[in-house]
Amino acid sequence: MNIITIDGPAAAGKGTIALSLSHLINFYYFNTGNIFRYIAKTIIDEGLMYEFLINKNHFNLNKINQNVVFLKEIPDLVEKSILIDEKLLRTQEISDSSSIIAEIPQVREILNKAMRKFIYDMLGSNKVVGCIVDGRDTGSVLFPNAGCKIFITAERSVRTQRRFEQIRSTFTEDFQEEIKKKRVHDSLVLRDSRDGSRKRDPMIIVKDTIVIDTSKISQEETIEQILAIIRIKLPDLSKDYRKTVNFI
């Protein structure tokens, strides 16, 4: 199956690498984390986060139905999360909240179904050669039959530094929160812990996955390594793309 999954902990570089790679091999790129972030933003915007926190396992998802038609129009939800300005989803508050929301089995069930359908429809439409999907459980749960599974990681201190610099450089003053490295670090620790220990679909490395530690290598080197893996894992694709300079 022409699906490449890239999983890994927060700020490991999944999104950056997946996006560059998608341009190089002409795959559609889908960031599953943005879906969880979009739900978190909606719950926060509706003023329901407190209620969600104190009532986590019994939170009535229909409560946010009025504005996002959460349960009725799931495909719409995926579309909406794609269309939204990504900067709005990248605040510290949303990062933290999304991993809390992602612990709820009902949320995962609904979103997994919608995301799978979206990607299969995309592949079935023949508009794209393949899809790159990144997240935490894309190789283990979402697309266990993916042709190529990568797990990108990096030491926590490296990830903290990368995220800190990313926030500082990306956000305009309007979105700028008071950024403290300790806050960024603490948030990563918490998210890693929640994502790795939740009962439903935790972040794990399944056996047919190739792990790349990017702590000491550049983005370019990481991409080179992944292209080499793709050549082996998706040989038919490399045949189709023999003429594509970057892929040979």
**Residue, CB closest to ligand ATP:** 13
Distance CA 142, CA 110 (A): 12
Q: Which H helix or E strand runs over 132?
A: strand 131-135
Matching residue, tokens 């610099």:
165
Phi then psi for residue 31, to 5 deg, are: -100, 105
* One of 33, 130, 139, 147 touching ligand L45E5XJ5 (CB under 6 A): 33
- Classify 150 as helix, strand or coil: strand
**166 contacts ligand ATP (rule: CB under 6 A):** yes
Cβ proximity to ligand L45E5XJ5, 130 vs 135, nearer residue: 135
**67 contacts ligand ATP (rule: CB under 6 A):** no
Radius of gyration of the chain (CA): 18
Cβ proximity to ligand ATP, 123 vs 217, nearer residue: 217
**9 contacts ligand L45E5XJ5 (rule: CB under 6 A):** no
State the binding partner of 138 from ligand ATP, ligand L45E5XJ5, none, CB within 5 to 8 A by kind.
ligand L45E5XJ5
- Nearest Cα to 10, choosing from 134, 159, 117? 159
Q: Determine contact, residues 237/35, Cβ cutoff 8 Å.
A: no
Residues of this chain that bind ligand ATP (CB under 6 A): 8, 10-17, 33, 162-163, 166, 214, 217-219, 222
Residues of this chain that bind ligand L45E5XJ5 (CB under 6 A): 10, 32-33, 36-37, 98-99, 102, 135-138, 191, 195
